Chains A and B, each alone.
Chain A
Amino acid sequence: MSGAFIVDAHLHTGEHGPFFAPESGGRRLRSLMDRLAIERAILAGSWAALTRGGEAALADMRREHEESGGRIRYLGVFDPREAMESLRLLEKAKGWPGFQGIKLHPSFHRTPAEDPSYERAWSFAADNGLTILAHSWSPSEYNPVQALSLPSRYEGHVRRHPEVRFVMAHCGGRGSGRAEALRMAGTHPRVFLDLAGDIFCFHLLETLRNAVPEDRILFGSDYPWLDPRANISRVLLADVPDSWKRKVLRDNAIRAFALEERLS
């Protein structure tokens, strides 16, 4: 392929308090997208939307979409601790251009993924044909809240809402969550896994290709937490067929987020 063709299925924008990023706004993102042949991107919650929430943060993501000429799509963040307000905003955003689905982050929001308070978000996604992208990781000695986002914790919701396209971020992390994530992607036809984050395991692509159906793995960068170049290199130079690289870098994300369908 020539020109921009990659879909980055998981990134963020905004000034992030916990770490240094020299420039992390939409302008820098668009410049990097041009530089790295990224045609479209899924904004999985700005930092403000993930941490503070509110209408202004949602409106800012819509602005990012518009300033990108439609290349950046965005997800509304559902915080189960503020379920009614989150739903009100999702209801408002569902007709907005570029609105693509819902982001869940049980670890940030200190609420386990199986908690019934998430049911409103899953029902909303089912009723409106939206995709859910959720954080997933493995148990961590030094970051215990990761246990709230273990892949298997989502499985009850997935069973109750099999029609919802569900993307588990970070492939379940770098530990025991990985096997759970792979099992779920192999079991449920609408469960996808993304490569975002620092899951820099050696031969990851080669392993995933043999473990799950070929239409389930999505490229993601987790910008600006991480530089897209780290993960793009791993896909482009992996020892896997080019036809599968194309699926990972583009086709699978289009399907997982119904990008063409919602565009039309």
Chain B
Amino acid sequence: MHRLAFFDAEVWLGKPVGFPLAQESSRDVLVSALAALGITECCYSHWSGHSVSAQEGNRALLAEARDAGPRFHAIWTGLPLFPAEDGPLPGRSETPGSVCGVRLFPRTHNFPLSDWVVGGLCEWLISQRLPLLIWHEETGWDSLRALAVTFPGLTIVVETQVRKVFYHLRPLFALMKDCPNVLLETSNLTGIDSVAFAVHAFGAERLLFGSFLPANDPLAAMGMIADADMEEEEKRLVAGGNLRRLIEGRAR
């Protein structure tokens, strides 16, 4: 596994919601768990950004960022830029350099994923070279496709959490076929041959490894990549190469 240099796009701080058997873990505990599997770099998010408010989650990430080190990158939670709201929000306040992406929860935070609502934020993300991340269940496939078509310069990472994505592979793969700016995070992409299928159909550069630690065991998603019917270079891209390139784009 170590040879693939995994870089985890999906590590979560705070109290997990909807996973009663998962335990809240400190960053140090999670980092140790990842290191034991050879994962030395990750993007981390905070459950409060989903379950409390975008601002609360971002504040928690700001506190974590103070001593996080250069191999740990934050994913903030966003809201529409208008009407303006107080607090640490992408596009509204200064965004630290450690932020490597912005996630929206349209369903939970009660707004449609439509350009007339989130268009301003999308323009800002493009200007900052930041990707937009979204759980597949937080919006509808038509809305997601419309946004991807309207903003071809925006990188959209569809995340395979928090419910079973294998029920939705038909629209998901159709979306990826139509929209080259859509990438796919793989923590729950565990349907039969799903990783290899997506790589062969859309190219290895379209997938990003994620673990969804601590709710999920990283080994499930790692095994799907390490033992897939793919070339070694394709595995390296999915395991971490693509995410590194995405973050380097932000740094430039």
Contact = CB atoms under 8 A, between A and B. Distances in A.
Interface in B172-212: 173, 188, 190-194, 197, 212
A224 interface: yes
Contact of B22 (A198, A201, A237): A201
A191 B22 CA distance: 25
B192 A24 contact: yes
B226 interface: yes
Interface string A206-218: 0000000000000
A233 B219 contact: yes
B220 A20 contact: no
A174 B21 contact: yes
Interface stretch (B39-47, B110-118, B119-127, B160-168): B160-168
A200 B224 contact: no
B195 to A, nearest CB: 8
Nearest to B20: A175
Interface in A2-43: 18-24, 28, 36
A227 B219 contact: no
A227 B226 contact: no
Interface of B: 1, 19-22, 33, 37, 163-164, 166-167, 169-170, 173, 188, 190-194, 197, 212-224, 226-228
B119 to A, nearest CB: 30
Interface of A: 18-24, 28, 36, 138, 142, 174-176, 178, 198, 200-204, 223-227, 229-234, 237-238
B17 to A, nearest CB: 11
Contacts of A36: 227
Contact of A201 (B1, B21, B173, B191): B21
A230 B20 contact: no
Contacts of B193: 21-23, 227
Nearest to B33: A202
Contacts of B221: 230
B191 A234 contact: no
A42 B217 CA distance: 25
Contacts of A21: 191-193
A21 B21 CA distance: 29
Contacts of B170: 19-20
Contacts of B194: 227
A227 B165 CA distance: 13
Given A22-B197, A174-B20, A174-B21, A204 B191 contact: no
B166 A20 contact: yes
